[in-house]
Structure 1
Amino acid sequence: MLLFWDARLVFLATPKTGTHALESALGDVADIAFRHPPTVKHMGYAWSNRVMPRIVGQKEWTGFRTVAVMREPLSWLGSWYRYRRRNDLQGQSNSTRDMNFSRFLRGYLADPQPPYARLGRQWKFLRTEDGRVGIDYLFPYERFEELVAFLENRLDRKITLERQNVSPEAPLEVDPELAAPLAAQLEKDFRLYDALISGGDWKNI
């Protein structure tokens, strides 16, 4: 999470949406930058609304606006799957190195989820306590250049990104019988993303 005081802007780092590159590019100019631990670095909207007023002051916090990124839900899961195939996780319970993508997805759909598929949802990251979309400015990962242009304008600076945290390549083939349960489990994620990418009323999903 990055907070820019003069711009009255807070960037919330949705996991697996290219946020590490932005943190590297803007971390030194942010007035507040949470980098560790990951749970704090990736503080969601509802949590930020509980924590940040105590840090910056309730009156000041009401003047800030939030910005975040959302990735197509299946692509987001694919990014997690590839990320957990990396060498340093081999042999650990959260490694996906010795499985295909469909097995990973079956784990994600399971209750309880096994360690290798124990993930949240983008929808939960972006929502308010009472289940509404809370983010003020939301950009699709697949049009990252729009986010960069927005931040350059709001922060009045040129942003140069370097590719970081590149995950190992792996096929992302999905068994057909998983389509329906994934659509049901991620129904709000898909609806929000579809509205976002099509220019619909994503704020009222």
Structure 2
Amino acid sequence: MLVFSKARMVLLSVPKTGTTAYEAALAPHAALVISDPPELKHAPVFRYNRHFRPMIEKFIGEPMDIVAVMREPVSWLGSWYRFRQRPGMEGRANATHHVSFDEFVDAYCRGDRPGFANVGNQAKFLEPTRNGTAVTRLFRYEDPAKFDAFLSDRLGLGLETQRLNVSPSMQLDLAARTEAKLRRKFAEDFALYDSL
């Protein structure tokens, strides 16, 4: 999470949406950088509202734009699947070496997910709180030029990012029936992404 006091903007770090690259490029320009532990770096809207918003509003004021990036849901899961196959993950409870992508997505659709498929959900991460705290600007991961232009304009700087924390490349196959189940169970994620 990055907080820009002069630009009156908070950039939430939705996991697997390239935020590590943006953090590396923009951290020198931020008033506050939350990069560790992951539970704070990747604070969803409800956690931002509960723990960070009161402090930020007290010292910086309001209104703050809350900005985030969302990835197409199947691609997002693919990134998680590949991330959990990186070297050194073998034998860990959340590793995906022992399952196909189709099995991973099927497990993700269960009510009681196994550790390897427990990766959260973007719509829940971005869900507005009861007091009205919500993402005010949401961008597609697949359209970085639009997001980069927004950041450059808002922060008044030229933006250059490098690819960081990239998951291993591999072919991912998803059966039509599994994708249909995913789309049914996580309709909110697909609807939110399609609305962008």
Alignment partner of 1:175 is 2:192: no
Alignment partner of 1:194 is 2:190: no
CA distance in 2, matches of 1:60, 1:42: 21
In structure 2, the residue matched to 1:18 is 18
CA distance in 2, matches of 1:72, 1:28: 29
CA distance in 1, matches of 2:142, 2:51: 30
Alignment partner of 1:161 is 2:161: yes
In structure 2, the residue matched to 1:57 is 57
Question: Structure 1 130/187 Cα, relative in aligned 2: closer, same or farther at 3 Å?
Answer: farther
CA distance in 2, matches of 1:116, 1:171: 19
- Residue ranges of structure 1 left out of the alignment (5+ in a row): 197-205
In structure 2, the residue matched to 1:199 is none
Q: How many residues align?
A: 196
- Residue ranges of structure 2 left out of the alignment (5+ in a row): none
Please, which moves more after superposition, 160-169 or 47-56? Answer: 47-56
Q: Which has the higher helix share?
A: 1
How far residue 111 of structure 1 moved from its aligned partner, in angstroms, is 2.5
Is the 1:21–1:161 Cα contact (8 Å) retained in structure 2? yes
Is the 1:53–1:61 Cα contact (8 Å) retained in structure 2? no
Query: Which amino acid counterpart does residue 171 of structure 2 have in structure 1?
Result: P
Query: Which amino acid counterpart does residue 20 of structure 1 have in structure 2?
Result: T
CA distance in 2, matches of 1:93, 1:169: 21
TM-score, normalized by length of structure 2? 0.94
Runs of 4+ in 1 over 6 A off after TM superposition: none
TM-score, normalized by length of structure 1? 0.90
Question: Structure 1 125/37 Cα, relative in aligned 2: closer, same or farther at 3 Å?
Answer: same
CA distance in 2, matches of 1:43, 1:139: 17
In structure 2, the residue matched to 1:138 is 138
In structure 2, the residue matched to 1:72 is 72
Superposition pairs of residues 7-156 of structure 1, within 5 angstroms? 7-58=7-58, 60-130=60-130, 134-156=134-156
